[in-house]
Amino acid sequence: MKKKYEPGEKPPDSGQYVEKGPRGGKVSNTEITAIENKPLPPTSKPGNVWVLVDKTKHKKR
């Protein structure tokens, strides 16, 4: 099971996040690119969450 992140929460990993509904269904084609330790944007409806679908692949300096 993938970790769910609330709007405004700071995710530990950068990557592509998709919006999911309260029962786990995908919400339209809403997908964002989030940066680690930066707050996630608001969702389209209250109760929805963000789920990481593709982690950014880069080397740490």
- The pTM (predicted TM-score) of the whole model is 0.85
Q: How far apart are the C-alpha atoms of 61 and 14, rounded to whole Å? A: 15
pLDDT tens digits, residue range 19-58?
Answer: 999 888 888 788 899 999 999 999 999 999 999 999 998 7
CA distance 20 to 35: 19
What is the token pair recorded at 10?
């700071």
d(CA 56, CA 8): 20
- Two tokens at 59? 């080397």
**Per-residue pLDDT tens over the stretch 7-27:** 999 999 999 999 999 888 888
